[in-house]
Amino acid sequence: MQEQRLDGHHGQPVVIDLCHACQAFWFDRYESLQLTPGATLSLFRSIGEDIGRRGQAPAAAGQVSGPAPSRADLAKCPRCHARLRRTHDMQHTTRFEYLRCPHDHGRFTSFFDFLREKNFIRPLTPEQTAELRRNIQIVNCSNCGGPIDLGRGTACSHCGSPVSMLDMQQAAALVAQLRHADARERQGADPTLPLDMARARREVEQAFAGLEGDARWWREASDSGLVGAGLSALARWLKT
């Protein structure tokens, strides 16, 4: 795993471990909760760039998924080497899961479940589902990578996950928070902060306007899943 140093609340740095092969993070105890919005966005960029690299490789599926179940069941804590336990959790109304150390040293969470935990994945509306069927017959599941035949249904027959996509409005709000993170650190309220954040949201929304209709979007959505396509687009936008 590779260490990644990120900003934490109250000026305290957070060092997490990232595994590109398993597409997952290891968080020591409470590290996920200590991440600032800017640090969370950095992780999104890392995920998006990783998906982009996989999508360019001839043999890569470009999925946002976790380790295979057979590998996950053998995973051990990097601190005490105890067998990790699969744990189901809920954030608001969103269910997600991770592998937890029985001695509370930390947890191993896939890219997909990390996005679920942060409320960045939402199900498609009926209109979006209808448009998806008109443009794509088969889409890969963003959770396990299995193929979903949209002519038969909108849930993965392998893991049961519904077809979902990245919530761009939530991404826009987080970008706005990142741009003005320095204002939050200053003492007292910045009277221009609400207007600046609203402007930043509009900029991101305009950047993604019409994204779901272009040829590149449909190609990436078919190969990488809707969540992967959204993350790749977000990573490209953050580089501009």
In the chain, what are the domain boundaries? 2-239
Q: Collapsing DSSP states into helix, strand and coil, what is residue 217?
A: helix
Whole-prediction pTM value?
A: 0.71
pLDDT in tens, 160-183: 888 888 777 777 676 666 666 545
Contact 1, 17 (CB under 8 A): yes
Q: What is the pLDDT of residues 52-106, one digit of tens each?
A: 665 544 333 444 555 555 456 678 998 899 999 999 998 777 788 899 999 999 9
Residue 192 tokens, joined: 């221009």
The token pair that represents 12 in the structure block = 């305290």
Dist. CA 119–CA 122, nearest whole Å = 8
